[in-house]
Structure 1
Amino acid sequence: MRVSLNWLKELVDVDLTAEELGKILTIAGFEVEAIEDLRTFADGVVIGKVVQKEPHPNADKLSVCQVEVGGDAPLNIVCGASNVRADIFVPVATLGTYLPAIDLKMRRTKLRGVPSEGMICSLTELGLEKESDGIHIFTEDNLQPGQDVRPLLGLDDVILDLATTANRADALSMVGIAREVAALTGATLKLPDIPQDEVAQNLQIQIEVQDSQACPAYIGTVIEGVKLTSSPNWLKWRLQAAGVRPINNVVDVTNYVLLEWGQPLHAFDCEKLQRVAGNDALTIGVRFAEAGESLTTLDGQNRELNPQNLLITANNQPVALAGVMGGEDTEVDNQTVNLVLESALFESVTIRRSARSQNLRSEASTRYERGVNQVELDLAVARAIALLQELAGGTAVAQTVADARPDFASRGSIELRLSRINQVLGQVKRENGVGEIEVEEVEQILSALGCQLELIPDKESTWKVTVPSYRYRDLEREIDLIEEVARLYGYDRFCDTLPAKTEPGYLSFNYQIKNKLRALLRGVGLTEVVHYSLVKPTGGEVTLANPLFAEYSALRTNLIAGLIDAFEYNQSQGNGSLNAFEIGRIFWNSDAGFQEADAVAGIMGGDFYPQGSWTRGGKPAPMSWYQAKGILESLFTNLGLTIFYRSDSTDQRLHPGRTASLWLEGKNFGIFGQLHPQLRQQRDLPNEIYVFQLDFNILLAVLSQEEVITPKFQVYSAYPGTERDLAFFASTTLSVAEIAQVINRAGGKLLEKVELFDEYKGKNVPEGQRSLAFSLIYRSSDRTLTDEDVEPVHQKVRDTLVKEFEVTLRS
């Protein structure tokens, strides 16, 4: 919000510099992003009177002018403007003047051999226009040479560019800022005196609102006999200071009221409305758009409408995007004589959706999205009518109102306790020490904000607070009022106190485990990546009701899909294989509703050790299934987890013969496998790509917090181990993991390690079986094992295998 200091001082009796006011507003929560001093644009520029003009002796397009600027003798100035002539008053940049708009400092110079002692300026050179046809000529009376030009051009002002928070809709108006400044400084508020002339209520136009929630109020006023012309300078200057381009007196009035009161207005050409409607009898309607409708807006774009767009219609023909932008077909132009002035209230959410669906934002939509003061709608209309009558000669002849606004008085009041204020805010600094905020201070602050306070008799220091209409959207609870007390009292006046008991910060167990996983996965050579949780829907996902884009309208159900996409992109960019992991959240639908959980996933493939390719003649060595499994196993070993693998073919993206589900303490912990060949071909990926995904919640449940946070030393045996081999024929349907699990159980405490070192299928092996050979290491922590200690245990292992799996022992 760009705030003109001159305009502000007309609304509130404050005598502060821009810097002082900016500091007060910043402390109160309105960040001053910039202070723009317009006075610097013409510092040193004065009014000059051209007393003589002669052709330049050496240039056809230049003139030599004698310009009187209040000194002893006129200045000799060479000018190239075609509209310069004698007996006119012009702005003159004298010697030593710096013009920041064109980055030029005035010095004595010669132009084609003729000395020049300054410059006659155009509005472009003073920063008021982008392009000018010639020098500026003053038309005011009683001008004196040497007079400062800045008051005559609106350059005696300072602009404060304020950043307002989303909850302060009232701060998007000059009246709202003036109220805030009055409350902060104690200055007197001087709002414009608005004549409350009654406008005849008749049915010259009818109003038809289909959805009173989307449009609680609509006022249509017919104004006849307007004369379109350029606005007076004061109005132009105020619009320009606010960053709004002046157009004509009618449009400028609607923009002025928007800036002054925060109430958007729109003026339709009445005859054009009747032409679009196809009838002199007008019915202004408010409805949502239907499929196939379109509208050309004031920016010249033809827009395809959708059911989210709220429309203004004339006899059901679209003429404007409600609360966003008017239509080109009913635009006010130089031939306009009669107006229909629209002033309305629209629901914030409706306008936000409508504007976003068309990718169109305007000054009006910005204010409707935050919320417009419902009570002061009629005041803004009266202000606009009075200005149109004064500046355009119009007369309000008819007005029709459709009003479904709730009674503001029915909102009730908010109970505010002094004890709660002091409990939340704490002690404050006073001249004689520290203390607490007192009753009188609370009443003074909230009354300055426009609140009405009434002490509740049977409750100690407790008020019933009625909030003013322009703050009803952000002052809804007791804590909101406490925040206002703190803000206006001054945050710098509160004591700096530390909590009575402090504790060192710490990471939650959940986060500690995630950090440990990150460190371990990075340690085995994987790079962490992060993807959006939002994905393109393919079916079955949790979809968003109001997505930003169709490509990001669903929530991901797994992490593997994103890792495959990243691997493919990395490969296509010539960066080689991506060995990466991700820790993130996944989402899914269930009978109980939407569910979400954290997961850990990774992708591996390609040549894992490319720096050693010289030993292989420069040929890459694709990662094997066992290498990928080894990387995953190293993670489990560091976490102290025992994982069991079972053949799995449920995921269609993975190779059915090279995929295993992972089991931890009887729970399905995740999946690990190689990408399916068909998927590899579709994505143009290398032959051996492996992925895994783990359930983070199961991991949390299994890991002990104490063991993870404080690892304990486990005593290792100082005695040598005894190794035994075990070979047998086993059915090919048996997995090595099942066999190893039984061996470990049968070996008991003495069995330290079980490792498969050979597998054979083929000649001399029975059909449907394979030959497996395991190495078993036995060890004790308190003695060296003898054959008498080992043989019984080893025989028990052999007997258990025969009994459980009917294997044929070979050793």
Structure 2
Amino acid sequence: MNISWQWLGELVDLHDIKPSYLADKLTLAGFEIENIIYNSNQDIDLEVSSTANRSDTLSMTGIAKEISVLLQRPLKGSYAQANLKIKHKCIASSLGNNKDHIVAQINSIAIEESPKWLKDRLAFYSITSKNNLLDIINFIYLKWSLELQILTVDQATKVSINYDDLGQLSNLNNQNINEQVQDINKSTKNIMLYGTTLNRETVSEQQKRLPLNSHDSLLHIQNTKTKDIMAGYGEAIMLVSHICKAEVGSIEYFSKTNRAHHSVPLSYSNARKILGPIKNTKKNSLNYLSDKEITKILNSLSCIVHPKGNYKALEIPNARINDLYREIDIIEEISRIYGFNYFIDIIPENIKTGKKNIRKHRIDQIRSALRSLGLHEAMHYSMSGASESSIYIHNPLSNEYHSLRLSLLENIIESNIYNLERGNGSINIFETGKVFKSSGVSSKETNHIAGIIGGKKYIRSKWSERPQSISWFQAKGDIENFFERLNISVSWTKVKEHRELNTYNAVLQYLHPKYNAIICINKKPIGIFGQLYCRNKYHRNLDLSYGFEFSLQELLTPNIKPHIFHEYSSYPCITRDISIDIPGETLFRDLKASFKNIKSPVIESINLFDVYTSNKELDEKQRIGLRITYRDLSNTLTSKEVENIEHKVKNTITDSIIGL
């Protein structure tokens, strides 16, 4: 927008104000000064750009009001107003979306050349003077950002304008309206001057319903508020009646009755807290804006302040209701008018130091344990492609990510395949993040941890053999090592016992139907581990890789087994191997549970080292080999003492298993 310094001086008191000083004030207030041009006609051109939310400053009157507030200078009185007799008509709120309209019938217009001051004002903005009537319309647009429509009328008889049942403008005696398009020239005598807050498209729709002609005087139009319509329209009527020597007839103003606007609450103490102290060179103490200073700034913005207990209720002027509707907007406006450079911008010292909570420490410990096992940490989007039970997003970023992920393992597998297809080889990775599951009409999010191990062939028992991928038991040992580092005791169960587990159902399509297991803490399932077996050919490269996914919350708050320290014995240990026959269907977890029934202080450890199964006997028994270590704290054990304990161990294990 171009601002004429001379014209601005007629609206605001610019005594002793230099253009460079005003440019600095406008820059600090959020306006961009593109250039300052000194013209040959003793005028100065300020090229100013405003932000999108400040359409109220796109006219000379609007920018003059803003400069008046910034400089704390009063606006000069206007002598271009006339006392108008206006008939007010209310529009029912149920009729359309029409805003304010004002229409006046003007007769006996003398179309002549414009006076010199008006020509000069338009010439500054490179607008060619045509005649006094059109120049007045252009002048009003520059000053008030109000576009006036000129509707030509054949005769000087009264034309009534009203609203029909559809909320559209209609005339009651349209036989007096000229249906032919005319230019505004000396033959034009009778017009109707029409002003509205509507945009050009709505005005065009009104003109199609009315047999009226309008002169398209400008290429751009801005929304104008009610107060500016009345002021700008009043000045237009006065100029037309004096310069064009016209007779002003009836004036009708249409508006809706529902004009209520909600007030904006403002706490002065909250404003001072957000803005901080102001610079003060006279005193050492920190000073803040006083209530009087804040109220003065609000009044300069045409805000009406109403005390409401501990806060103030502000009535916002119509021109600013679109950008001042929150407390923080008001506080920002206070700092802008007072001057951002007058506030101390030093961050206050904080003697309090933050610290990680136990949850954060535990998560770091879990991530560190996986990294120490050779896994790399990855991070993926919380969105994924579609599946049968996907939670769809209403406004997705793209078709590839239009639903929330149900598991972490899916994205980890995709990343591994991406590496394999580009010849980078398989990589052991893990991720911690949120997953989502549908819960009726809503969805629930939880934190999980998942990863992939194996895939690379680097295991061999002899150098002459080809390297192999890790086996099920080696991968299972890595997972047990992970839980051992976290000091968590887990148990392994069959999948068929926990098919209702959400994690299992989410990753079922990626796991081998046979080689998988559910991991439990205190008999509560926390996740799944298994060999990857993707039925899709696209995923076949993941054979002999193993995936896992656990609930992170269950790892943060488990019943961690305490560390138990025993007295060290200085006497030698005795190691013996024994064999026991047990039923063939006995599970290892049942065998391990039977060890707890052996109560002997001299047994240091019991380990299973061999299992032999024979189908020759009818009961299909299996023989297990146990390696038991004995040690006493007070003396060296004898062979006879060890044999007695071995006999008790065999009987206890046999009785425990038979009793199952």
Please state which band the TM-score falls in when normalised by the shorter chain: 0.5 to 0.7
Question: Contact 2:226–2:318 (CA<8 Å) still a contact in 1?
Answer: yes
Give the corresponding residue for 2:439.
590
- In structure 2, relative to structure 1, the CA distance for the partners of 1:731 and 1:453 (3 Å cut) is same
| Cα 1:575–1:437 shift into 2, 3 Å | same
What secondary structure is seen at the aligned counterpart in 1 of 2:420?
Answer: helix
State how 1:381-396 maps to structure 2 within 5 Å: none
What is the match of residue 432 of structure 1? 282
Residues 503 and 398 (structure 1 numbering): CA distance in 2 closer, same or farther, change over 3 Å?
A: same
Alpha carbons of structure 1 residues 374 and 233: separation in structure 2 relative to 1, 3 Å: closer
Aligned to 1:634: 481
Match of 2:299 in 1: 447
Q: TM-score of the superposition, structure 1-length normalised?
A: 0.54
**CA distance 1:431–1:544, shift in 2 (3 Å):** same
User: What displacement does 1:554 show?
Assistant: 2.6
The answer on 1:690 being equivalent to 2:537 is no
Counterparts of 1:367-766 in structure 2, within 5 Å, are 403=256, 406-408=259-261, 411-412=262-263, 414=265, 416=267, 428-433=278-283, 434=285, 435-454=287-306, 463-472=312-321, 475=324, 481-482=330-331, 484-490=333-339, 493-494=342-343, 502-590=351-439, 593-607=442-456, 609=458, 621-648=468-495, 650=499, 651=505, 652-653=508-509, 654-676=511-533, 678-679=535-536, 681-702=537-558, 717=568, 722-730=574-582, 733-744=585-596, 746=598, 755-761=607-613
Contact 2:517 / 2:528 at 8 angstroms: preserved in 1? yes
Aligned partner of 1:671: which letter?
I
SS of aligned partner of 2:430: strand
- Counterpart residue identity of residue 185, structure 1: L
Are residues 717 and 413 of structure 1, via their aligned partners in 2, closer, same or farther at CA, if it must alter by over 3 Å? same
Query: Do the aligned partners of residues 283 and 422 (structure 1) sit closer, same or farther apart at CA in structure 2, a change above 3 Å counting?
Result: closer
Which secondary structure state, in structure 1, belongs to the residue aligned with residue 529 of structure 2? strand
Cα 1:506–1:27 change in 2 (3 A) is farther
- 1:413·1:465 contact (CA, 8 Å) conserved in 2? yes
Q: Which amino acid is 1:737 matched to?
A: R
1:665 Cα deviation from its structure 2 partner:
2.2
Partner amino acid, structure 1, of 2:389: G
- Aligned residue pair count: 571
Kindly report which structure 2 residues correspond to 1:311-350, keeping only aligned pairs within 5 A, or say none. Answer: 338=213
C-alpha displacement at 1:496, in angstroms? 7.8
Three-state SS of the structure 2 residue aligned to 1:552 is coil
CA root-mean-square deviation: 6.1
SS of the residue aligned with 2:351?
A: coil
* 1:183 match: 69
Cα distance change of structure 1 residues 776 and 768 upon mapping to structure 2, 3 Å threshold: same
Partner of 2:247: none
Structure 2 distance, partners of 1:601, 1:671, is 9
Deviations 1:409-450 (A, max 9, x none): xx2464645x56556666544343134432321221211222
Distance 1:425 1:207, change over 3 A: closer
Q: Quote how far apart the aligned CAs of 1:560 are.
A: 1.4
Deviation at 1:673, TM superposition (A): 0.7
Structure 1 pair 157–482 and aligned structure 2 pair: CA distance change class (3 A)? closer
Deviations 1:173-204 (A, max 9, x none): 567776555434324458998999999999xx
Q: Which residue of 1 aligns with 2:111?
A: none
Q: Which residue matches 2:181?
A: none
Q: Given that residues 801 and 807 in structure 1 are in contact (C-alpha distance below 8 angstroms), is that contact kept between their aligned partners in structure 2?
A: no
Deviation of 1:674 after TM superposition, in Å, equals 1.2
Matches within 5 A, 1:70-469: 180-188=66-74, 217=99, 338=213, 403=256, 406-408=259-261, 411-412=262-263, 414=265, 416=267, 428-433=278-283, 434=285, 435-454=287-306, 463-469=312-318
Assess if the C-alpha contact under 8 Å between 2:12 and 2:73 holds in 1: yes
**What is the identity, as a one-letter code, of the residue corresponding to 2:291?**
V
In structure 2, distance between residues paired with 1:384 and 1:339: 20
Alpha-carbon contact 1:427-1:437 (below 8 Å) kept: yes
Take 2:200 and 2:638, find their aligned partners in 1: how far apart are those partners? 94
Q: Retained in 2: the 8 A contact 1:578–1:604?
A: yes
CA deviation digits over 1:278-323, x for unaligned, max 9? xxx999999xxxxxxxxxxxxxxxxxxxxxxxxxxxxxxxxxxxx9
Q: 1-side partners of 2:236 and 2:462: how far apart?
A: 86
Question: Which digits, 9 at most, give the CA deviation of each residue in 1:317-343, with x for residues without a partner?
Answer: xxxxxx99979x99x9xxxx94599xx
2:469 counterpart SS class: coil
Give the distance between the partners of 1:585 and 1:643, measured in 2 at CA: 23
Report the CA distance shift for 1:555/1:462 in structure 2 as closer, same or farther (over 3 A): closer
SS in 1 for 2:481: helix
1:64-106: CA deviations, max 9, x gaps? xxxxxxxxxxxxxxxxxxxxxxxxxxxxxxxxxxxxxxxxxxx
Tell me, which stretches of 5 or more residues in structure 1 are unaligned? Answer: 40-147, 224-231, 240-249, 268-280, 287-322, 342-362
Deviations 1:649-691 (A, max 9, x none): 5443222221111111232111111123524x35232321211
1:801 aligned partner, one-letter code: I
User: Following the alignment from structure 2 to structure 1, what is the Cα–Cα distance between the partners of residues 583 and 123?
Assistant: 93
Change in CA separation of 1:26 and 1:201 when aligned onto 2, cut-off 3 Å? closer
Q: 1:412 to 1:715 in 2, by over 3 A?
A: same
Question: Separation in 2 of the partners of 1:523 and 1:687?
Answer: 24
Give the Cα separation in 2 of the matches to 1:17 and 1:777.
98
Greater displacement, 733-742 / 668-677: 733-742
Scaled by the length of structure 2, what TM-score is found?
0.65
Instruction: Give the 5 Å matches for 1:766-805.
Output: 770-777=622-629, 797-805=649-657
Give the drift of 1:565: 1.8
Asked if structure 1 preserves the Cα contact closer than 8 Å seen for 2:569 and 2:631, the reply is no
Amino acid of the residue matched to residue 740 of structure 1?
K
Counterpart for residue 183 of structure 2: none
Q: Deviations over 1:693-730 (max 9, x none)?
A: 1111111111679x9xxxx9968847565544454455
- 8 Å contact from structure 1 (residues 588, 594) kept in 2: yes
In structure 2, the CA distance between the partners of 1:573 and 1:767, relative to structure 1 (3 Å rule), is farther
Deviates more, 1:533-542 or 1:468-477: 468-477
Tell whether the 8 Å contact from 2:489 to 2:560 is kept in structure 1 after alignment. Answer: no
Q: Hey, what's the Cα distance between the residues in 2 that align with 1:701 and 1:482?
A: 44
CA distance 1:579–1:800, change in 2 (3 Å)? same
Following superposition, the deviation at residue 24 of structure 1 comes to 5.0
Query: Which stretch shifts more, 717-726 or 651-660?
Result: 717-726
Give the letter for the 1:702 counterpart.
Answer: P
Larger C-alpha radius of gyration, 1 or 2?
Answer: 2
> AA paired with 2:403?
A
Contact 2:429/2:451, CA 8 A, preserved across alignment: yes
* Contact kept in structure 1, 2:584 and 2:613, CA below 8 Å: no
Give the counterpart letter for 1:443 in structure 2.
T
For the structure 1 residues 504 and 415, does the alpha-carbon distance in structure 2 shift closer, same or farther, using more than 3 Å as the test?
closer
